[in-house]
Amino acid sequence: MSESDKFSDAYFRERLTPEQYYVCREKGTERPFTGEYWNVFTDGEYRCRGCGEKLFDSHTKFDAGCGWPSFYAPASAEVIREAFDESHGMRRTEVLCERCGSHLGHVFNDGPAPTGLRYCINSASIELEAQDQS
């Protein structure tokens, strides 16, 4: 299977639940305070639900009170892509997985130090790989 075939529509439909597909591939948004990780603060790495790329570390996660998992920085600048988004009558910056193009959420300029950013991410687009506590 070539790299381009790996991330085909069929690949995502087989790998993701209908809700995850809606969020990741159709740029949907889960309702606040309903996602799996909005109130989880377990140590570990948050990976892309679509391709497994490491996107965020748990030590950058914070409670923004918005109902979605929020991080002040990605794992590295190379793992995300930003795009201008004018949907729903708003002007904001969309965040996507650089590797597979999955929609993750949006980034805002109202986060804590040291970056001042809030990556507001849908739980449906990420998967926590918990750190082994043994």
What confidence score (pLDDT) does residue 72 get? 98
The pLDDT of residue 61: 97
Q: Return the pLDDT at 132.
A: 76
Global pTM value: 0.90
- What is the per-residue pLDDT for 4? 46
Residue 51 marked as a ligand binder: yes
Is 24 annotated among the ligand-binding residues? no
100 is in an annotated binding site: yes
Sheet holding 54-57, edge to edge: 54-57, 44-48, 126-130
Residue 66, annotated as binding a ligand? no
* DSSP, residue by residue, 43-109: SEEEEETTT--EEEEGGGEE--SSSS-EESS-S-GGGEEEEEE-GGG--EEEEEETTT--EEEEEES
Residue-level pLDDT at 54: 98
User: Is 24 assigned a catalytic role?
Assistant: no
Q: Which domains does the chain have, with CATH numbers?
A: 3-130 (2.170.150.20)
Catalytic: which of 23, 24, 95, 120? Answer: 120
Distance between CA atoms of residues 87 and 129, nearest Å: 31
What pLDDT is attached to residue 108?
95
Q: What is the pLDDT of residue 102?
A: 96
Output the pLDDT for position 69: 97
pLDDT < 50 regions, the chain: 1-2, 4
